[in-house]
């Protein structure tokens, strides 16, 4: 597990600047770098149509003499964006409140502060609106989570599936980097043979990656 976590950490850092990847570009040798860092390396080359990999020195052809034509490492891009989103949430979280207003009522006082979020309704609820919400029998199976946990990044908001509104997008297709529900997996075929994990497992995996980042990278985020 430790070696896997270290591999994930290394894959999110640019070998040149040692920072989190920005516009990650994938070379044919499978090494990934920031587009800006590759541009700097490319600018020092005598032959503009090629670039040596800064790690393994394999020479790669540069289309149109521009490193931006190298394919984007979509997985690394998605993970880095997720990490930065979590970091932003941690910075904005208040120590005593989520700071999120109720999205059902329009109260301006403290009663309008959200205490829970309904995953099925996709609404933040204050105590008063939560009481009204729970009076409906059809809502008894709705999943409620703490608004503070969402604000801190401990829990990710789950959305109702646009194709199957009664189902939550409780799974993630790692291959496609999209969320999906159980009905989509049962009746759809676009994810056949793809790696599917639960949202909680995906979040746990991302949290382990964040926690394993070197201290200097975390300082730059915070």
Tell me whether residue 36 is in a domain.
Answer: no
What does the mean pLDDT of the chain come to?
77
Tell me whether residue 89 is in a domain.
Answer: no
Tell me whether residue 105 is in a domain.
Answer: yes
Residue with the bigger pLDDT between 17 and 111: it is: 17
Residue 199: the pLDDT is 74
Which of the four pLDDT bands, split at 50, 70 and 90, describes residue 70? very high
Structural domains of the chain, count: 1
Tell me whether residue 185 is in a domain.
Answer: no
Q: Which domain holds residue 102?
A: 94-152
Whether the pLDDT of residue 53 is over 90: the answer is: yes
What would the pLDDT profile of 72-127 be if each residue is shown by its tens digit?
887 788 778 877 766 655 555 443 455 678 888 865 554 578 889 888 887 888 88
Residue 18: the pLDDT is 86
Residue 104: the pLDDT is 85
Tell me whether residue 115 is in a domain.
Answer: yes
Residue with the bigger pLDDT between 140 and 203: it is: 140
Tell me whether residue 181 is in a domain.
Answer: no
What would the pLDDT profile of 127-175 be if each residue is shown by its tens digit?
889 988 998 888 888 888 888 887 776 776 767 777 777 777 778 777 6
Residue 76: the pLDDT is 81
Residue 61: the pLDDT is 93
Q: What's the chain look like in SS3?
A: CHHHHHHHHHHCECCCCCCECCCEEECCCCCEEEHHHHHHHHHCCCCCCEEECCCCCCEEECHHHCHHHCCECHHHHHHHHHHHHHHHHHHHCCCCCCCCECCCCCCCCHHHECCEEECCCCEEECHHHHHHHCCCHHHCCCCEEEHHHHHHCCCCCCCECCCCCCCECCEEECCCCEEECHHHHHHCCCCCCCCEEEHHHHHHHHHHHHHHCCHHHHHHHC
Tell me whether residue 12 is in a domain.
Answer: no
Tell me whether residue 180 is in a domain.
Answer: no
The fraction of the chain above a pLDDT of 70, given in percent, is 73
């Amino acid at each position: 597990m430790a070696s896997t976590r270290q591999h994930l950490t290394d894959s999110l850092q640019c070998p040149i600047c040692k920072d989190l990847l920005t516009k990650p570009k994938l070379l044919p040798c499978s090494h990934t770098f920031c587009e800006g860092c590759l541009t700097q390396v490319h600018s020092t080359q005598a032959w503009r149509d090629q670039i040596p990999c800064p790690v393994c020195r394999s020479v790669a052809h540069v289309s149109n003499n521009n490193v931006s034509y190298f394919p984007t490492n979509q997985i690394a891009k998605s993970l880095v964006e997720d990490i930065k989103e979590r970091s932003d949430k941690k910075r904005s979280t208040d120590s005593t409140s989520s700071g999120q207003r109720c999205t059902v009522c329009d109260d301006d006082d403290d009663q309008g502060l959200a205490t829970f979020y309904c995953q099925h309704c996709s609404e933040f609820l204050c105590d008063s609106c939560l009481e009204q919400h729970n009076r409906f029998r059809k809502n008894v199976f709705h999943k409620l989570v703490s608004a503070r946990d969402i604000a801190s990044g401990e829990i990710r908001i789950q959305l109702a599936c646009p194709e199957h509104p009664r189902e939550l997008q409780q799974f993630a297709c790692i291959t496609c980097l999209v969320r999906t529900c159980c009905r989509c997996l049962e009746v759809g075929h676009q994810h056949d043979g793809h790696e599917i994990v639960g949202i909680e497992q995906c979040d746990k995996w991302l949290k382990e990656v964040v926690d394993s980042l070197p201290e200097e990278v975390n300082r730059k985020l915070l």
